[in-house]
Amino acid sequence: MDRFIIEGNGPLNGTVNVSGAKNAALPLLAASILTEDHLELGNLPRVQDVATMCALLERIGMGVQRTEDNAVLSGSSLHSHIAPYDLVKTMRASILVLGPMLARMGIARVSLPGGCAIGARPVDLHLKALERMGAEIIQETGYIEARAARLKGAPITFDKVTVTGTENIMMAATLAQGVTVLHNAALEPEVVDLADCLNAMGARIKGQGTSTIVIEGVERLHGATHETMPDRIEAGTWLCAAAITQGHVTVNRMQPEHLTAVLQTLAAAGVPMSVGCNCVEVRPHHGLHARDIVTQPYPNFPTDMQAQMTALMTQASGVSQITETIFENRFMHAAELARMGAQIQVNGRTARVTGGTELTGAKVMATDLRASASLVLAALAAEGSTTINRIYHLDRGYADLETKLQALGGNIRRAGARTKNLDRPKLVVA
Ligand code: EPZ
């Protein structure tokens, strides 16, 4: 298994370009199922999860042609309604094909995604919503089987804000009979990006970006061309990387308005920044202050930035209280950071980070995508050498991480069996 070897060697300097958003690309790829025409997606990140979703689409018969950062998907050859366990188990976001397959084919059989390191990750809200739309759903032998000759529009209130739940039902509703109104919908920018793409395909969606989304069903969708939005979590991770190394870095090709809560927190912690329309310049700080953080749905502080901020707060003066309200087990980075000298006390959903600690290099283990990112940040600031094992977690969601870090002066190299470009897309002609 691959590992990173990182030498803490001072401030990062330069400019880094953010790639397309993994959490926008995955629903956008699933949306291609809704039409027999071609959907052309640009700015797709070269990450393992995108490769896995493309493999899943090919498995059900979609045409998938990938070049560097783009893909052309065609649904004319769609022939299977089964998303099998061997693929779904590697990426739980595969659940995003459920709604589109059911809407397009009237039947879908998707392996239950199961939990992951950060929590149980149920999909009950997805299924309850589809049943409200007239789907007949049975769960057996680890699979969800959903049937509906044609879904019917319905008013749906999500008991909890769910990002992929909102995306799944929004996609299913585009081809339903009548109007669907989603209440307590997710406001995330990735939901808006998907809605904009669906509208370009002929869907009739209003209210995206608010908690009430109205979808008027249509008979069919046509092809379109859509550019994936920049990855706001990757951008936030680079901001923290600059700050934790007291560097001078411009994070480019991002949308600062997607990170208001994170920018506010960093500024209040003492990180000097200049915000442009598609970039943020971080300058060296002269001491960081502890900040209390509570993760909540957008537009509040994102759970996907919690681990990175935890690493940064080990370098702030004072004690930071970090509360994780979204997932039940998202502090696994704490024990690994402690191996590097961090002082973090976890008590249920809250972690108390005592700042001002010297970090020293150590052998640590990645446990999930964002926890792994926090270990990279800590390693950049640590004295000495850090080895991060199981970095396949990072390859799932960060494109070209070591190349981008090396360009900023980071001393990082990959070691292990896989070649570093393994997740770069090969040209796949279906
Ligand atoms: C999306 O996951 C993201 N993944 C996650 O990013 C992100 O952390 C999460 O939203 C929250 O922002 C993708 O977009 C592919 P949820 P999702 O449904 O949709 C509960 C990353 O690191 N819930 O919004 O699976 C759930 O347990 C990943 O890039 C139910 O109870 O998250 C959680 O407590 C990690 N029943 C809360 O809702 C359901 O049916 C929010 O989950 C669905 C969710």
- Looking at the structure, tell me whether residues 242 and 164 fall in a common domain: no
**Residues sharing a CB contact under 8 Å with residue 290, sequence separation 6 or more, in sequence order:** 269, 313, 316, 317, 318, 319, 320, 353, 355
Give the model's pLDDT for residue 424: 47
Cβ-proximal residues to 128 (8 Å cutoff; 6+ apart), any chain: none
**pTM of structure:** 0.96
| Host H or E run for residue 354 | strand 350-354
Number of domains within the chain: 2
Mean pLDDT for 119-148 is: 95
Supply 224's token pair: 């379109």
Answer yes or no: is pLDDT of 429 > 80.
no
| Count of all residues that appear for the chain in the document | 430
Handedness of CA 164, 375, 367, 406 (dihedral sign): positive
One domain, residues 66 and 201: yes
Mean pLDDT, residues 263-268:
98
Q: What is residue 110's predicted lDDT score, i.e. its pLDDT? A: 97
The answer on 246 and 174 residing in a single domain is: no
Say how far apart CA 161 and CA 158 lie, in whole Å: 6
Q: Exposure of 305 by Cβ count < 10 A (0-12 exposed, 13-18 middle, 19+ buried)?
A: buried
Q: What is the mean pLDDT of residues 411-421?
A: 77
| In a domain? residue 42 | yes
Q: Is 295 in the pocket of ligand 1 (CB under 6 A)?
A: no
Q: Which atom of ligand 1 is nearest to the CA of 369?
A: 22
Residue 253 shares a structural domain with residue 219? no
Residues 6+ apart with CB under 8 A from 380: 6, 8, 12, 241, 244, 245, 405, 410
Residue 335 lies in a domain: yes
Ligand 1 probe mutation, 22, 23, 50, 395, most atoms within 8 A of CB = 23
Q: What is the DSSP secondary structure assignment for residue 256, as one 8-state letter?
A: G
Query: How would residue 426 be classed by pLDDT, with cut points 50, 70 and 90?
Result: very low
Query: Ligand 1 mean position to 319 CA, how many Å?
Result: 28
pLDDT tens for each residue of 85-120: 999 999 999 999 999 999 999 999 999 987 777 888
Judged by DSSP in three states, 275 sits in: strand
Strand ranges inside 93-241, DSSP E? 107-111, 136-140, 143-147, 155-157, 179-183, 204-206, 212-216, 224-227
Q: Which of 64, 124, 112, 122 is nearest to 87 (CA)?
A: 112
Q: Which of 229, 234, 325, 326 should be mutated for ligand 1, with most atoms under 8 A from CB?
A: 326
Cβ of 122 less than 6 Å from ligand 1: yes
Asked whether residue 421 is assigned to any structural domain, the reply reads no
User: Quick one: 171 and 269 in the same domain?
Assistant: no
Q: Could you tell me if 306 and 342 lie in one domain?
A: yes
pLDDT one-digit tens code per residue, 114-132: 777 788 889 999 999 999 9
Flag whether 45 is in a domain: yes
124 lines ligand 1 (CB under 6 A): yes
| CA-proximal residue: ligand 1, atom 4 (nearest) | 23
Residues 214, 237, single domain; the answer is: no
Query: In whole angstroms, what is the distance from residue 47 CA to residue 397 CA?
Result: 6
ω into residue 100 within 30 of 0, thus cis? no
Residue 233 has pLDDT above 50, yes or no: yes
Q: Taking a C-beta distance cutoff of 8 angstroms, is the pair 155, 183 a contact?
A: yes
End-to-end CA distance of the chain: 30
Query: Is the model's pLDDT at 259 over the cut of 70?
Result: yes
On whether residue 424 sits in a domain, the answer given is no
Q: Where are the beta strands (DSSP E) in 18-135?
A: 38-42, 63-66, 71-74, 82-83, 107-111
Report, as an integer, the average pLDDT of 210-223. Answer: 98
pLDDT value for 1:
83
Strand pairing partners for 321?
Answer: 352
| CA atoms 55, 373, 236, 118: torsion sign | positive
Residue bearing the CA closest to ligand 1, atom 27: 121
Helices within 152-272 (DSSP H only): 163-173, 189-200, 232-244, 260-268
Mean pLDDT of all residues in the chain? 95
Residue 417 pLDDT level (bands cut at 50, 70, 90) = low
393 lines ligand 1 (CB under 6 A): no
In a domain, 427, yes or no: no
pLDDT at position 354 over 90: yes
Of 227, 243, 270, the residue at which a domain comes to its end is 227
Q: From the CB of 327, is ligand 1 less than 6 Å away?
A: yes
Question: Would you please indicate which residues are annotated as catalytic (active-site) residues?
Answer: 116
Q: Does 198 lie in the same domain as 284? A: no
Residue 418 has pLDDT above 90, yes or no: no
CATH of the domain at 125: 3.65.10.10
Is there a single domain that holds both residue 162 and residue 288?
no
Determine, yes or no, domain membership for 14: yes
Percent of the chain with pLDDT over 90: 93
Distance 295 CA to ligand 1 centre (A): 13
* 289 lies in the same domain as 180: no
Looking at 188, 207, 227, the residue that finishes a domain is: 227
The answer, yes or no, to whether any atom of ligand 1 lies below 6 A from the CB of 166, is no
Q: Judge if 267 and 376 occupy the same domain.
A: yes
Q: Closest residue (by CA) to atom 24 of ligand 1? A: 162
Residue 328 domain boundaries: 3-19+230-415
170: which 2 tokens? 């929004």
CA of 136 to the centre of ligand 1 (A): 24
Whether residue 430 lies inside any domain: the answer is no
Q: Is 237 in the pocket of ligand 1 (CB under 6 A)?
A: no
Residues 189 and 268 in one domain: no
Residue 33 has pLDDT above 80, yes or no: yes
- Indicate if ligand 1 lies below 6 Å from the C-beta of 424: no
Looking at 173, 195, 227, which one is the last position of a domain? 227
Choosing from 137, 160, 233, 323 the residue with most ligand 1 atoms within 8 A of its CB, the one to mutate for a pocket test is 160
